[in-house]
Amino acid sequence: MRKVAVIAIGYTKVKEHWGLSIRDLFTEAAIMALNEVTIDRVDALYVGNMSSGYCQHQEHLGALMADYIGLKSPPAVKIEAAGASGGMALREGFQAVASGLHDFVIVGGVEKMSDVLTPDITYAMAMAADQEYEAFIGVTFAALNAMIKRAYQHKFGVSDELMATLPVHCHDMASKNPYAQYPFKITVEQVLSSPFVAEPLRLLECSSPADGAAILILCPLEKAKEFTDTPIEIVGVGAATDAIALYQRDDLTTFKATIEATNIAYKMAHIKPEEVDVAEIHDSFSVTGVISLEDLGFFEKGTAAKAISEGEIAPGGKIAVNTFGGLKARGHPIGATGVYQAVEIVKQLRGEAGKNQVDNAEIGLTQNIGGVGGTVTVHIFRRVR
């Protein structure tokens, strides 16, 4: 199996892009990445996306985007795994290079939800849940996560105030990130006075519908130095699934798929959780992020929210997390999110994270979730000396 590196990145600002189509967004991010390196061909393209069929009435995104960004007829495909579509696209791109089948692979993620009305976005999101046993009954995606929050707070006795600290942290980080959807600070008081989306989840604990696209260009590590002075190696790749319907779970306060994916990735990378310098985790809702910080091995069960309140995930703390704002504040363009996370880790490990830079970051991790923990991908990245 060949070693694989990221040699270029691209991304758009995350926001409601009323003036750009889904193909425009993808192209903007791809051009940024293609301008970073001089390569004479692209061997394959992966497009992470969840809802183009529903929101744009457009499938066949692989071939469409390959043509639209000017590639010369590479194999191209859309990868769908709900909110983990981007992470799974990266995984497939990794395999394409690792296998020896391809040298230069573009991994992209794109989502454009603002082409449909808000009720339709709610409807599209619910397709990540179990249609027959959950969505059909009328439960929304936020409501499923609200049940998780209630179970988590009940089991561990964590206060509303502590749960609010993750979104506050993420907005702090996003306030210095020009491409973030919400580049401003918020307070715990604002979180706790924002309206309920699905009790006990309040508006400022939930990521919002967003449009955006992000791109990575991969190649074999051995060739990477020909194209960039700062290649970033992908040293760990883990993914796992779980029953997507909550009624099938033994425990709502941990995501089994995160634990499995994490173990695989750590083992492959030969590292321990405490060696990770910077992590981008999937905080689609406050509780999702809190649970993830624990499942990833960074904090003991039930203690992550308290650790956040003590500054442990801020730069300079135990581990820097969501340094560009995470899903809550950088934004969560569903199928693009996993790729944004990887882009941000690459920026950190290159030392190009600007005001968000973590000192001397060497090892980074991304965790991307589909549904309510139904699919989880974990990737570990390392600076090449």
Q: Which residue has 């600290």 as its token pair? A: 165
Q: What is the DSSP letter of 36?
A: T
Cα atoms found within 13 Å of the Cα of residue 338, Cβ hemisphere only:
36
Query: Which residues 223-262 are close enough to bind its own copies by CB under 8 A?
Result: 237, 239-244, 248, 256-257, 260
Instruction: State which of residues 135, 142, 144, 201 lies at the interface with its own copies (CB under 8 A).
Output: 135
Residue 73 CB, shortest distance to its own copies, in Å, is 5
Q: Which candidate, 381, 147, 126, 167, places its Cα nearest to that of 285?
A: 167
Binding mask 76-95 toward its own copies (x if CB under 8 A, else -) reads xxxxxxx-----x--xx--x
Q: How far apart are CA 219 and CA 62, in angstroms?
A: 19
Instruction: State which of residues 9, 30, 107, 128 lies at the interface with its own copies (CB under 8 A).
Output: 128
Q: Which residue has 């809702």 as its token pair? A: 285
For residue 122, what are the CA distances in angstroms to 127, 256, 257, 289, 364?
Answer: 9, 26, 24, 20, 32
Tell me: cis bond preceding 200? Omega within 30 of 0 counts: yes
Residue 154 CB, shortest distance to its own copies, in Å, is 26
Q: Does 14 bind its own copies (CB under 8 A)?
A: no
Q: How far apart are CA 175 and CA 165, in angstroms?
A: 15
Q: Does 222 bind its own copies (CB under 8 A)?
A: no
Amino acid at 310: E
Record the tokens describing residue 250, joined without a space.
């033994």
Residue 92 CB, shortest distance to its own copies, in Å, is 6
Q: Which candidate, 52, 21, 25, 60, places its Cα nearest to that of 124?
A: 52
Query: Which residues 282-321 are close enough to bind its own copies by CB under 8 A?
Result: none
Instruction: State which of residues 17, 25, 29, 56 lies at the interface with its own copies (CB under 8 A).
Output: 56
Applying CB under 8 A, which part among 31-39, 57-65, 323-331, 341-349 lies near its own copies?
Answer: 57-65
Q: Does 30 bind its own copies (CB under 8 A)?
A: no
Q: How far apart are CA 251 and CA 152, in angstroms?
A: 10
Applying CB under 8 A, which part among 163-171, 319-327, 341-349, 373-381 lies near its own copies?
Answer: 373-381
Q: For its own copies, how many residues bind (rule: CB under 8 A)?
A: 63
* Residues forming the site for its own copies (CB under 8 A): 1, 21, 23, 50-51, 53-54, 56-64, 66-67, 73-82, 88, 91-92, 95-96, 98-101, 123-124, 126-132, 135, 237, 239-244, 248, 256-257, 260, 370-371, 374-375, 377
